[in-house]
Amino acid sequence: MKTYLVTGGAGFIGSNFILYMLDRYEDVTIVNVDKLTYAGNLENLRPVEGNPRHIFVQADICDKAAIEDLFRKYDFDYVINFAAESHVDRSISDPEIFVKTNVLGTVNLLNCAKQAWQTGDDAFKAGCKYLQVSTDEVYGSLGAEGFFMETTPLDPHSPYSSSKAAADLFVKAYADTYRFPVNITRCSNNYGPYQFPEKLIPLMINNALQRKELPVYGDGMQVRDWLYVEDHCKAIDMVAREGRLGEVYNVGGHNERPNLAIVKTILSYVKEHVDAGVGEELIRHVTDRKGHDRRYGIDPEKIRRELGWYPETDFETGIQKTIQWYLTNQEWMEHVTSGRYQEYYEKMYDSK
């Protein structure tokens, strides 16, 4: 039996990872620590409700006593750190919480894991590993040519990506200084079920289903490299089990698209399959994001070559599955868009 400490497991990618792992392996137990911020939702974990191999604990990753307590209670083999403030727009209006959770929270987890796993000078419990779930945004922005490699210098621009880069450097420092066993994954933009509708794809699906305007920042020609969330989960699982200690692995599927093309794809699907009254007149170009990165694009050659990872879901299939999921889970959408989030969203949207 392998025991995982998964942080941020009530969020988008963390919950998909827990569902993926518990479905795939009989010999995995997951302790899921989540603060349940606006982005965390236990409804994401309904499919594993009552499963004794999933243990939920509401706590902040910055809370030293709470995390130490978990390391006393459980003999973890892996820590997978998903917990983060994850939205660039929020980081522009309120950077401090990004430093607290993304940087200080990561350092607290590293410290607690190091303390619990250390068996001697530079020696740690056999087989244990800390995996930091990072992002391609730490590399900054690309021009028309080229891709992010693991060796690309870090050049983050937003408070979000800067906080993630800072966290990555602490993870590296633990590996370099203490020989602490780590990996870092840097993935491109994810999409799929359970993504909070402040992010491009679920926001546009939700607005299209409600015949609301679709706010496209600036000219909409910024490029993101989209990966179906389950393929990211598979990559994290492979890196945790087989990744070479101390290494960084980029994760992406060469699926670059401009934002406007994504929005049009969603509109045309909704028009054809759900509501013939929906069309491109709903697109509204709004003020661009400050410091908006123009293009992200991952070179996934290292993870393919070393671990045999490849994306299984192509974009056409993934986006259809995703739109269908939001269609059949409108109650989920109602729950996450009511209350605090809704107020925030109205404020952001009105100011554009």
The set of catalytic residues is 136-137, 160
When binding is defined by CB under 6 A, the residue of 4, 5, 6, 10 that contacts ligand NAD is: 10
Per CB under 6 A, which region of 83-91, 108-116, 174-182, 316-324 contacts ligand NAD? 83-91
Q: Are 88 and 158 in contact (CB under 8 A)?
A: yes
Nearer Cβ to ligand TYD (231/256):
256
Which of ligand NAD, ligand TYD, none interacts with 40 (beta carbon under 5 to 8 A by kind)?
ligand NAD
Q: How many residues does the chain have?
A: 352
- Amino acid at the residue 236: I
- Phi, then psi, of 57 in degrees rounded to 5: -130, 120
Shortest distance (Å) from residue 251 CB to ligand NAD: 8
**Does residue 65 sit in helix, strand or coil?**
helix
Q: Are 21 and 51 in contact (CB under 8 A)?
A: no
Which of ligand TYD, ligand NAD, none interacts with 101 (beta carbon under 5 to 8 A by kind)?
ligand NAD
Q: Does 133 bind ligand NAD (CB under 6 A)?
A: yes
When binding is defined by CB under 6 A, the residue of 259, 265, 313, 322 that contacts ligand TYD is: 259
Q: Does 322 bind ligand TYD (CB under 6 A)?
A: no
Cα dihedral 14, 15, 18, 24 sign: negative
Q: Are 103 and 132 in contact (CB under 8 A)?
A: no
Q: Does 55 bind ligand NAD (CB under 6 A)?
A: no
Exposure string for 268-292, b = 16+ CB within 10 A, e = fewer: ebbeeeeeeebeeebbeebeeeeee
Q: Does 34 bind ligand NAD (CB under 6 A)?
A: yes
* Binding stretches for ligand NAD (CB under 6 A): 7-8, 10-14, 33-37, 39-40, 60-62, 82-86, 101, 105, 133, 135, 164, 187, 189-190, 196
